[in-house]
Amino acid sequence: MDFTLTDEQKMIQKTVRDFVNKELKPLEQEVLKNEREGRPGISKEKVKELREKAKAIGFWGINTPEEYGGADLGPIMSVLIAMELGRTYVPFNFGGSADNILYLCNEEQKEKYLIPTINGERRSCFALTEPGAGSDARSIQMQAIKDGDHWVLNGEKVFITNGNEADFAMVFAVTDKEKGANGGVTCFLVDREMGWKSEYIYTMGEWGPATLVFDNVRVPEENILGELGQGFNLGMQWIGQGRYMIPAGAIGAAERLLQMAIDYSKTRVTFGKPIAERQAIQWMIADSAVEIEAAKWIVFKAAWMAENGMDARHQSSMAKLNGAIMANEVVDRVLQIHGGMGYTKELPIERWYRELRLYRIFEGTDEIQRRTIARNLLKGHAKVGELL
């Protein structure tokens, strides 16, 4: 067994860490101020400038195949990079990527949707959740009815990330009611110009998803992504990737937060001694360090399995469940260690507290991950005590 990173992995990790330290951390105070005053954390122009700098050092299209000009670094490197970017709350990611299922576009669709998305000229959103179907995504109701060489879409989607900003949506609709999720759901590429409307949803985080409303939106037959009736599988494929990437980001945030708590505890004096000397504080630090370390290796194993072509779904559910809970435990302890200061907007802890709370909800709640893990074990798809 070998836990060491390769020289290439170490080099990538260091380069991203340097980028975060040099380019992103200096923007943190400005991000807090902008958000406090109701503006986006960083402007579009600044994101563009940062992406150009990153591109110049090779960070563009992290997961994008080389034929589209990407670096195609694979799951392990992607996890390492997400951990490093997670160390700052500056809302930034490297450009040059597209949703994994957009690679299933046919040649014509690639020109209209995939390539402009990779190049940052168009923005996509993934529209599966509905008011009556979140965890239970199989019971979506949005209707698509065939009319000549078009499909007519009616219904509502909610909580769609980037839904207010996107130029087009990957929309999941029922094309065969009887079959439903078993061959009766289809994914459509739907341009905003085709007529859907969006409305921003305010959340406890610093960014919000949107509600999308479809009222007789006519979509040409050629805008079906993949096969008619195979949309539900595409939806699950899209969600699958996030299950180890989300906790990877959470690990970076938890490490940074824990370091803040360590530094603060050494300088904050109460009753004549730094609080770092109190067992109550030391135990919070120790528990956090152990939980972060455990989360890290579950995530790395999921990424390693994905990289080696294994079925990583069970491990990824464990990574998501454990990583999301861990980050929420850690941020809560770090806030506690900072006392009243932790609760203020002078420090980013309360911001992270609000942001990390989402990790237990989106792309499969804690309860749904537990349901999946338990079902895999009960049905024998995964076995207790099994090492690879």
Ligand X SMILES: Cc1cc2nc3c(=O)[nH]c(=O)nc-3n(C[C@H](O)[C@H](O)[C@H](O)COP(=O)(O)OP(=O)(O)OC[C@H]3O[C@@H](n4cnc5c(N)ncnc54)[C@H](O)[C@@H]3O)c2cc1C
| Contacts of ligand X in 147-166 (CB under 6 A) | 159-161
Shortest reach from residue 66's CB to ligand X, in Å:
28
Nearer to ligand X, 262 or 361 (CB): 361
Shortest reach from residue 102's CB to ligand X, in Å:
14
231 lies in the site for ligand X, by CB under 6 A: no
Residues 105 and 113: their CA atoms lie apart, in Å, by 8
Q: Spell out the alpha helix ranges (H) of 57-112.
A: 74-85, 107-109
Q: CA angle, corner 368, sides to 363 and 369, nearest 5?
A: 80
The residue within the footprint of ligand X, chosen from 109, 117, 129, 211 (CB under 6 A), is 129
Q: Determine the interface stretch with ligand X among 4-12, 35-43, 147-155, 356-364 (rule: CB under 6 A).
A: 356-364
Residue for token pair 């690879």: 388
Q: Can you say how many angstroms the Cα of residue 159 is from the centroid of all Cα atoms in its chain?
A: 14
| Contacts of ligand X in 316-355 (CB under 6 A) | none
The residue within the footprint of ligand X, chosen from 92, 126, 168, 264 (CB under 6 A), is 126
Q: Determine the interface stretch with ligand X among 43-51, 134-142, 283-291, 376-384 (rule: CB under 6 A).
A: 134-142
128 lies in the site for ligand X, by CB under 6 A: yes
The residue within the footprint of ligand X, chosen from 5, 100, 371, 376 (CB under 6 A), is 371
- Token representation of residue 218: 């006519």
Q: Determine the interface stretch with ligand X among 101-109, 128-136, 271-279, 324-332 (rule: CB under 6 A).
A: 128-136
Nearer to ligand X, 343 or 362 (CB): 362
Residue for token pair 């992504």: 225
Shortest reach from residue 45's CB to ligand X, in Å:
25
The residue within the footprint of ligand X, chosen from 111, 199, 263, 367 (CB under 6 A), is 367
Of residues 97, 92, 98, 100, the one with CA closest to residue 51: 92
The residue within the footprint of ligand X, chosen from 74, 183, 362, 376 (CB under 6 A), is 362
Helix/strand/coil (H, E, C) string of 3-67?
CCCCHHHHHHHHHHHHHHHHHHHHHHHHHHHHHHCCCCCCCHHHHHHHHHHHHHCCCCCCCCCHH
CB atoms closer than 10 angstroms to residue 372: 21
Q: Determine the interface stretch with ligand X among 15-23, 181-189, 312-320, 366-374 (rule: CB under 6 A).
A: 366-374
Are 127 and 188 in contact, with CB atoms under 8 Å apart?
no
Residue for token pair 């949803």: 201
361 lies in the site for ligand X, by CB under 6 A: yes
Nearer to ligand X, 122 or 301 (CB): 122
Residues 42 and 286: their CA atoms lie apart, in Å, by 34
Residues 298 and 304: their CA atoms lie apart, in Å, by 10
Q: Which of 49, 363, 367, 386 is the catalytic position?
A: 363
Nearer to ligand X, 18 or 367 (CB): 367
119 lies in the site for ligand X, by CB under 6 A: no
* Interface size with ligand X, residues (CB under 6 A): 20
Nearer to ligand X, 82 or 127 (CB): 127
Residue nearest to ligand X (CB): 134
Instruction: Label residues 150-183 b or e (16+ Cβ within 10 Å = b).
Output: bbbbebbbbbbbbbbebbbbbbbbbbeeeeebeb
Determine whether 363 is an active site residue: yes
Residues 51 and 30: their CA atoms lie apart, in Å, by 18
382 lies in the site for ligand X, by CB under 6 A: no
236 lies in the site for ligand X, by CB under 6 A: no
Q: Across 161-209, where does the E strand assignment appear? A: 168-174, 185-191, 197-200
Nearer to ligand X, 68 or 362 (CB): 362
Are 316 and 244 in contact, with CB atoms under 8 Å apart?
yes
| Contacts of ligand X in 171-230 (CB under 6 A) | 203, 209
The residue within the footprint of ligand X, chosen from 41, 134, 184, 247 (CB under 6 A), is 134
Q: What single DSSP character describes residue 157?
A: E
Q: Determine the interface stretch with ligand X among 39-47, 97-105, 311-319, 361-369 (rule: CB under 6 A).
A: 361-369
Q: Catalytic residue positions?
A: 363
Contact residues for ligand X (CB under 6 A)? 126-129, 134-136, 159-161, 203, 209, 358, 361-363, 365, 367-368, 371
